[in-house]
Structures are given as structure tokens and as C-alpha cells.
């Protein structure tokens, strides 16, 4: 089983739609979690950290389920500019960040 | 600048030549990572430096790949006897530790695009 698994997509959604991505991780000792965004031919950039209680940043909501070892990202009211690859990232104590392969999102006008 | 800096931004080399890629992390960041990304693929972990600890080299694909981090700052990734399959974007990132010895947000450089012809 891969350490971090994501549905590669692509997810093709119309503007204004709500879309959700899930990510599962295998290491139960993982302690911190992130969602990164990567635009075509650009470096990844942090979208948001994921906290145990769940957190929201504008149209974006991240959730963590430790018991089931999955993380989710919800995007509401999708914009064309949300089109990108979304990377799930998991970290343990004194270990390198582990990236999922990413989920591609295309928002269509 | 305040970000992670990588050089060169592009490198074209002939098969069999050695190349060196450089990464200047954000000042004060104790963790430094190297990843590579082939076109349309995910990030492949290569090596991880954390403070004075022995580096985690578990992702290096062969003994042609090596990396150093001098003085806990600048890092160089060296690829010897390059092969065409080494063509990819090589990304460097750095992060800090929080009090719980967890890596915080990693900041990436813009990468070095390596093409082996």
C-alpha cells in the first residue's frame, strides 16, 4: 500500500460547483497534514494545513479523520482559477514530508 | 530574496556527463528536501536533511545520485554519468521544526529543469 494515496482525477467541474477530494495515508503515526496546490509547470505551494478539528479558509474546508486515516478537501463555488493539481501531504516526527501523486482539477466555464 | 533559490533554472547536458544542482534554502530552516518530478507525474522523494542528523537517502534511485548539505545551509545534488531517464524537474524545499519536532510548511524553489540529450 502506498504511503499516501489520492484519486488522480481529472475532476472536470463547472464553475460554481462544489468538489471534494479525499486522501488516505498508511502510517498511523503521522502527525501533521497539509494540502498543497501545484499549477502546471510551477512548484507546489501550501494551500492549507489540516487540523484535527477541521479548518476552513474561505471556500476551502479541510477535514482529518485519524481513525480512518483519511484527509479531505472541499472546494465550494469553484472558480476557473482553482484549476490545478492538489497534493495531499503527510508528516511524521522527524521524517520527510510524504506527498501524494496529486488530484487534477479542471474547472470549466 | 527570502525564498528557496535553485540554480541553474535549466540545464541541458549530454548523456554520460556529471551535473550539479544547487539549492539555497530559507535562512534558519533546518530541514531540506530534494524531490524530482517527471512530466505529468507526482513528486518523487530523493533525500532529506534535518539539522545535524544523518540524511535520509532512501529515495535516491541509484548510486549515481548523491547530495551534500554544507554548514547546514546550501545543498548540492550531484548526478554522475547522467542518463536520459534522469530528465526531470528537480525541486528543493526547506522547512522548520516546531517544538514537537514536526516539520512545518515546506517552501519550494522553482526547480531545475534537467534535460539529458
Among the listed residues A96, A97, A83, A70, the one whose alpha carbon sits nearest the alpha carbon of residue A7? A70
pLDDT tens for residues B60-110? 999 999 999 988 799 999 999 999 999 999 999 999 876 655 667 899 999
Q: Is the pLDDT assigned to residue B28 strictly greater than 60?
A: yes
Residues in chain A: 109
Distance from C-alpha of A28 to C-alpha of B25, rounded to nearest angstrom: 30
Torsion angle, CA of B51/B36/A33/B29, rounded to 10 degrees? 30
Using a CB–CB cutoff of 8 Å, tell me whether B103 touches chain A. yes
pLDDT tens for residues A47-63? 999 988 889 999 999 99
User: To the nearest whole angstrom, how far is the Cα of A31 from the nearest Cα of chain B?
Assistant: 8
pLDDT tens for residues A68-98? 999 999 999 999 999 999 999 998 776 788 8
Question: How many CB atoms within 10 Å of residue A3?
Answer: 15
Cα B76 to chain centroid, rounded: 7
User: Which chain B residues are within 8 Å of A44, Cβ to Cβ?
Assistant: 43, 91, 108
pLDDT tens for residues B46-62? 999 988 889 999 999 99
Distance from C-alpha of B75 to C-alpha of A82, rounded to nearest angstrom: 33
Cell of B39: 512530466
Q: Do B100 and A94 touch (CB under 8 A)?
A: no
Distance from C-alpha of A50 to C-alpha of A57, rounded to nearest angstrom: 11
| Chain B: residue whose CA lies nearest to A38 | B42
The one-character DSSP state at B35 is E
Q: What is the pLDDT of residue B2?
A: 80
Residues 6+ apart with CB under 8 A from B94: B4, B23, B25, B26, B29, B31, B32, B33, B106, B107
Q: Do A102 and B91 touch (CB under 8 A)?
A: no
Among the listed residues B99, B9, B97, the one whose alpha carbon sits nearest the alpha carbon of residue B48? B97
| Chain A: residue whose CA lies nearest to B110 | A43
The one-character DSSP state at B73 is S
Amino acid at each position: 500500500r502506498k504511503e499516501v494515496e489520492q484519486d488522480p482525477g481529472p475532476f472536470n467541474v463547472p464553475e460554481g460547483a462544489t468538489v471534494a477530494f479525499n486522501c488516505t495515508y498508511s502510517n498511523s503515526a503521522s502527525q501533521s497534514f497539509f494540502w498543497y496546490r501545484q499549477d502546471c509547470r510551477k512548484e507546489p505551494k501550501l494551500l492549507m494545513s489540516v487540523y484535527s478539528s477541521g479548518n476552513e479558509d474561505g471556500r476551502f474546508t479541510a477535514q482529518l479523520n485519524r481513525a480512518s486515516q483519511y484527509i479531505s478537501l472541499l472546494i465550494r463555488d469553484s472558480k476557473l482559477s482553482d484549476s490545478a493539481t492538489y497534493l495531499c501531504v503527510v508528516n511524521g516526527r522527524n521524517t520527510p514530508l510524504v506527498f501524494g501523486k496529486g488530484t487534477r482539477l479542471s474547472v470549466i466555464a | 530574496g527570502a525564498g528557496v533559490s535553485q540554480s541553474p533554472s535549466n540545464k541541458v547536458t549530454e548523456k554520460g556527463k556529471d551535473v550539479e544542482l544547487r539549492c539555497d534554502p530559507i535562512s534558519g530552516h533546518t530541514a531540506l528536501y530534494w524531490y524530482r518530478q517527471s512530466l505529468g507525474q507526482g513528486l518523487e522523494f530523493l533525500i532529506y536533511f534535518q539539522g545535524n542528523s544523518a540524511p535520509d537517502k532512501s529515495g535516491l534511485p541509484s548510486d549515481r545520485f548523491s547530495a551534500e548539505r554544507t554548514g547546514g545551509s546550501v545543498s548540492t545534488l550531484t548526478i554522475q554519468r547522467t542518463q536520459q531517464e534522469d530528465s526531470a524537474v528537480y525541486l528543493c524545499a526547506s522547512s522548520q521544526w516546531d517544538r514537537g519536532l514536526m516539520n512545518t510548511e515546506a517552501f519550494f524553489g522553482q526547480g531545475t529543469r534537467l534535460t539529458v540529450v
